[in-house]
Amino acid sequence: MTPFRTFCKSRQEIKDDEQEIKDDEQEIKDDEQEIKDDESKNGRNKMRKTVVIAMIIGAAMLFAAPAGAFVAKTGDMADKTNRNISVDEGVLTLHGLLSEPQAGAPEEIAIRFMRENLGILNLDETILSGLRHLQTKESLTAFHVRYQQTCGGYDVIGGQISAHIRKDGVVQVVHNGIKSIVNTFEAPLVHKSAAFSIAKLAVGFAVPLGYVPQNIRPVVLPIDGGVLAWQTFVPALEPLGAWTVYIDTKLGTILGIGDMASYMEIPATLFRANPVVLSKDPNFKDNQLGINDESFDGMYTDVLVKNLDDTLVAIGMLSGPHAFIIDNIEFAVDGVTDFVCTREDPRFEGLMCYFGIDESQLYIQSFGFTDLFNKPMSIAARGLPGVQNAMCVHGGVLGLPDPFTEVLILGWHALASTMLPAEVPVAGWGGDETDGFIDTAEDPIVVLHEYGHAILGDAGFTSGGAEGGAVHEGFADWWGSICLAPYSDGLWDNYIGEWFSSYIKKSEAEGVPPALRNMVGNKTYDDMEGEVHVDGEIWSSPLWDIWMELGRENASRLVLESIHFLPASGGFEDAAFAVLQADVNLNNGENGYFLLKTFEARLFEPAIPEGLNTLPPVVDSGASAQETETKGTPGFEAVSLIGVLFAGLVALVRRRQK
């Protein structure tokens, strides 16, 4: 039996089940109405969020079990307290003055209350001992304690219970979504990689996305007394969604499938310019290996982390349509309200990467580019312990479902953790000794530089030797800087990686920060050294000039359009031609003169696309002066006759419009 057939059969079964469920629901509604009639107050509680698919399959049981059980017990209320019961979507809610004021930690009060009310809550000691504390939140008036039900060590889907305790210790509300599990579970027979393959087939996977099959975990579905299932997540562009698929760990059959995507925004605090820029001190350094101290006060920007897949956030993962953080770090637990943290928080680097890439992709899309690396990039923000560097690996190398995706792996110091034995030396830049270390993701340009490579690769430019590599590096530097420009106050935008460089590079001159590279410079084609990053300055400097001349937005639109015109491999003059072609298409070639001068200064002689206006900007002195200047300008030999004629026509039309 193929997984597809299994899937189809399951769907039919689900349809049959749904009909039964509808019938049962009517009965349950009738029961609920009876319960509501018994209520002394009209309190109404929102349902706890549960996993939809599990609910559909298991709905008959989930709805029916508590309803009958509690009607009889509502008569056994304690004297001095006031209790109301409602059952909604499988969650039993007790509310009122459920206890006397009590002393003790909120967790103690919660567990004590449950233990004293096993009957009315339909709990037992086994369930209590299996509860896993999820979180305790303090609001203005109460503590809110949440637990996850586990069975045999496995989380039970939808099985949560929460107690809400007024600050004087009175239990006010209990939401009980604990499921009835009677089965015991053996170790999975189906391997999790097989489960992931089945899940991919079930979703269809027409357009696979970059995804590392981590966080596949065995869970208990509350159906038929409990079934052990692999819970897998398959993000896909088509069919669009973050698909959750449950696979029976014994039989490999699909127990449930559904799109869990629902995107949320969570506030966070991040570095949006690097700390050297933020301090405005070119010599600003960190002397405490990743520790936050007062020298970082005021450097954190309040941001909204957007497009987060709420289902994945609920299990601690940071994932959205543009970035997927694969670090083995719990970013959030159910009910998370903020990511406000500082640089020493283990989540900080992942948040820096996620936010930077999501914002960069939204910037790309703001121009109307909808298909330029518009998929999640997988990132290990703390992926290289003890290494201050970053690397980008093609998905094909790692055997990922999408071979065209990129996985970005960044270094971090790791010395304060137990990940490395203390005697492992810090790997400095090029093997040099270093007396300090910056977590790579703390310098926001690093992840955006790597994203620049991913964009260029996605457009189809794979590289092509030393020159193509230099185009890649130059574009990547420029892209990172242009993305971050809104946060820098214009300071040192031309320098690349000042914070990353603070221990590993010397400053070029007094008053300027140390940096990996500088986009302002006079390097030409003749200055090629054969090292792609160094030679990247030969391409980033004309891009910098274009940014300064046209402004950030126009330059971004022009250069993003241009990279689509690159060959699969090529060099500076191919890249220059592509910019000229993009200018013809977007701007009627009106920046031709400036662009050609810019490229000429680097000794590039690109082909001239038809329609480029090679004439200098219109000046008051009239047409004859322009012609003379154009003809007299060296480096314009390649201008085609048609190009000149067309450009002249455009210039004429423009002049008439004035």
Chain residues binding Zn ion by CB under 5 A are 473, 476
Q: Report the residue number, 538 or 580, with the smaller CB distance to Zn ion.
A: 538
Q: Report the residue number, 264 or 384, with the smaller CB distance to Zn ion.
A: 384
Q: Report the residue number, 443 or 600, with the smaller CB distance to Zn ion.
A: 443
- Minimum CB distance to Zn ion, residue 210 (Å): 19
Q: Report the residue number, 476 or 558, with the smaller CB distance to Zn ion.
A: 476
Structure tokens at 453: 């490579």
- Please choose, from the candidates 157, 279, 176, the residue with its C-alpha nearest in 3D space to the C-alpha of residue 226: 157
310 contacts 303 by C-beta, under 8 angstroms = no
SS3 for 581-594, per residue?
HHHHHHHCCCCHHH
- Minimum CB distance to Zn ion, residue 456 (Å): 10
Q: Report the residue number, 324 or 451, with the smaller CB distance to Zn ion.
A: 451
- Please choose, from the candidates 12, 6, 334, the residue with its C-alpha nearest in 3D space to the C-alpha of residue 147: 334
Q: Report the residue number, 228 or 538, with the smaller CB distance to Zn ion.
A: 538
- Minimum CB distance to Zn ion, residue 449 (Å): 6
β-bridge partners, 270:
301
Q: What's the CA gap between 596 and 408, in Å, rounded?
A: 35
Q: What's the CA gap between 241 and 262, in Å, rounded?
A: 9
> Rg (Cα) of the chain, in Å, rounded?
31
Q: Nearest 5°: CA angle at 462, between 461 and 463? A: 95
601 contacts 524 by C-beta, under 8 angstroms = yes
What is the sign, positive or negative, of the torsion defined by CA atoms of 286, 288, 291, 294? negative
Bond preceding residue 403 cis, omega within 30 of 0: no
- Minimum CB distance to Zn ion, residue 463 (Å): 11
Q: Report the residue number, 231 or 518, with the smaller CB distance to Zn ion.
A: 518
CB-based contacts of 259, cutoff 8 Å, min separation 6? 239, 241, 242, 243, 244
- Minimum CB distance to Zn ion, residue 249 (Å): 43
First to last CA, the chain: 74
Q: What's the CA gap between 221 and 258, in Å, rounded?
A: 14
- Minimum CB distance to Zn ion, residue 457 (Å): 11
The DSSP-derived string for 51-117 is -HHHHHHHHHHHHHHHHHHHHGGGGG--SS-EEEEEEETTEEEEEEE-S----S-HHHHHHHHHHHT
Q: Report the residue number, 473 or 498, with the smaller CB distance to Zn ion.
A: 473
- Minimum CB distance to Zn ion, residue 517 (Å): 10
Q: What's the CA gap between 220 and 217, in Å, rounded?
A: 10
Q: Report the residue number, 158 or 570, with the smaller CB distance to Zn ion.
A: 570
Q: Report the residue number, 17 or 467, with the smaller CB distance to Zn ion.
A: 467
- Minimum CB distance to Zn ion, residue 476 (Å): 5
- Minimum CB distance to Zn ion, residue 166 (Å): 56
User: CB burial class (10 A; 0-12, 13-18, 19+) of residue 415?
Assistant: middle
- Please choose, from the candidates 173, 16, 216, the residue with its C-alpha nearest in 3D space to the C-alpha of residue 84: 173
- Minimum CB distance to Zn ion, residue 570 (Å): 17
Q: What's the CA gap between 315 and 321, in Å, rounded?
A: 17
Q: What's the CA gap between 500 and 505, in Å, rounded?
A: 9
What is the sign, positive or negative, of the torsion defined by CA atoms of 477, 482, 483, 489? positive
Instruction: Name the 3-class secondary structure at 7.
Output: helix
Q: Report the residue number, 312 or 476, with the smaller CB distance to Zn ion.
A: 476
Determine the distance from the C-alpha atom of residue 9 to the mean position of all C-alpha atoms in its chain, rounded to a whole number.
35
- Minimum CB distance to Zn ion, residue 181 (Å): 51
- Minimum CB distance to Zn ion, residue 392 (Å): 7
- Minimum CB distance to Zn ion, residue 536 (Å): 7
Q: Report the residue number, 400 or 516, with the smaller CB distance to Zn ion.
A: 516
Q: Report the residue number, 134 or 534, with the smaller CB distance to Zn ion.
A: 534
